[in-house]
Amino acid sequence: MGEKLTRRAALACIGSGALAMGLGSSAFESVEAGRSVSVDVAGDGQTAFLEIENLGNTVNNKNRGNKEETNILEIRNNFDQELSSLDVSVSLGSGIKEATPFDDTVSGNGGTTTYSAWCDGNSGGGTTTATVTVTSAEGSTVEVSDASYSFDISRSCPGNGNGNGNGTRTVVGDDEGDVEVSGDVIVTKKSNVNGSIDAGGSVTVEKKATLQNITSGGDVEVQKNTSVNGTIDSGGNVTIDKNTSVNGVTAAGNVDIKKNTTINGPVDAGGNVTVSGATNPPSSIQAGGDVTVSGISNLNGNICADGDITVGKNVNINGSVKSKSGSVTMEQNSDAQSVVANGDVYASGSNVSEEDISEGVSDVQC
């Protein structure tokens, strides 16, 4: 009983007028048929009357995210009659769980019923053992009972492996729900995540992807031509490449915003902030380190930093510029409503009037 197979298990076979059992002697405890048919045991190579087949499909994270089940097992009835009251159970090892069980009836002459599964949480990649037990299956003149076979089912699931053993979840194509993992997340190019990403590690979003909010315990990299229809909250550094839109950024580390980006909200960083040529720059910037803003026309909000601040040439800040413990440099033709610094203010070529400049201030408040 319980012989492990990797592909097709023939549960009941018939040959030369005798009812037989395929793939060795570990099959049915009992098979009953009409009086004119005898019962015997045969070896491999028989034509199966009742078969269980491992379909060879991999249960993967994409199917789980889309709420689509993966067909992994099939029962085929090659008797010439329907089998009703099909009592079949499937015991799954760790890593996957049942989506849709076998039907309780299966038609004759090649009729089939399938069994499907999907990922069970963050189980990673590998194989899961599925043990199929046919307790009973009855037809008008035949009855099969007490058979059990085991199969190895491949899986590539989120979280603790995704088939590569490094704790990285890779999102490919469309994913309807939220993505929550303890490790890293990679959203591949042109993928669409109709939910938020919550990762204990880093998050990399490849070009031309679309998603909602990002929460990450590590660094976040958003590559070019990507839409983040929400905010980014990172425990590390954040890099936003060109032609990308984001609705605000909070980071424990540095924030680097490239050209032609759209930032529909504030930026709050524990480290440095660099804005280089954003089409729509942040509504405001607050940083625990230095701030450099260049290549833009206007920033409609305040800038406040613990470190040094540099406002590039021809940049207009429609708000205040304040450095708590550093200096402020206003380059050629730049402007701001007011400039306050604990250190020096360099604004000789700017459009900021002298009465709006305060330097050497001991307690700068933002």
pLDDT per residue as tens digits for the range 272-311:
999 998 889 999 999 999 999 999 999 999 999 999 999 9
Average pLDDT of the chain to the nearest whole number: 81
Instruction: Parse the chain into domains and list their residue ranges.
Output: 4-159, 168-358
How high is the pLDDT of residue 159?
Answer: 43
How high is the pLDDT of residue 122?
Answer: 55
Residue 64 binned pLDDT confidence (cut-offs 50, 70, 90): very low
Residue 220 binned pLDDT confidence (cut-offs 50, 70, 90): very high
Please say if the pLDDT value at position 52 is more than 90: no
Q: Which residue has the higher pLDDT, 75 or 49?
A: 75
Q: Which residue has the higher pLDDT, 217 or 18?
A: 217
Beta-carbon neighbour count of residue 45 at 10 Å?
10
Tens digits of residue pLDDT in 222-263: 999 999 999 999 999 999 999 999 999 999 999 999 999 999
Give the strand pairing for 227-228 and 245-246.
parallel
How high is the pLDDT of residue 68?
Answer: 65
How high is the pLDDT of residue 129?
Answer: 92
Please say if the pLDDT value at position 5 is more than 80: no
Give pTM, 2 decimals: 0.58
CA atoms within 13 A on the CB side of 195: 13
How high is the pLDDT of residue 1?
Answer: 41
Residue 335 binned pLDDT confidence (cut-offs 50, 70, 90): very high
Tens digits of residue pLDDT in 339-360: 999 999 999 999 999 999 999 9
Tens digits of residue pLDDT in 140-176: 888 777 777 889 998 876 543 333 334 577 887 776 5
Residue 188 binned pLDDT confidence (cut-offs 50, 70, 90): confident
Q: Which residue has the higher pLDDT, 237 or 21?
A: 237
* Three-class secondary structure assignment of the chain: CCCEECCEEEEEEEECCEEECCCCCCCCCEEECCCCCEECCCCCCCCEEEEEEECCCCEEHHHHHCCCCEEEEEEEECCCCCEEEEEEEEEECCCEEEEECCCCCECCCCEEEEEEEEECCCEEEEEEEEEEEEEEEECCCCEEEEEEEEEEEEEEEEECCCCCCCCEEEECCEECCCEEECCEEEECCCCEECCCEEECCCEEECCCCEECCEEECCCEEECCCCEECCCEEECCCEEECCCCEECCEEECCCEEECCCCEECCCEEECCCEEEECCCECCCCEEECCCEEEECCCEECCCEEECCCEEECCCCEEEEEEEECCCCEEECCCCEEEEEEECCCEECCCCCCCHHHEECCCCCCCC
How high is the pLDDT of residue 40?
Answer: 27
Residue 64 DSSP SS3: helix
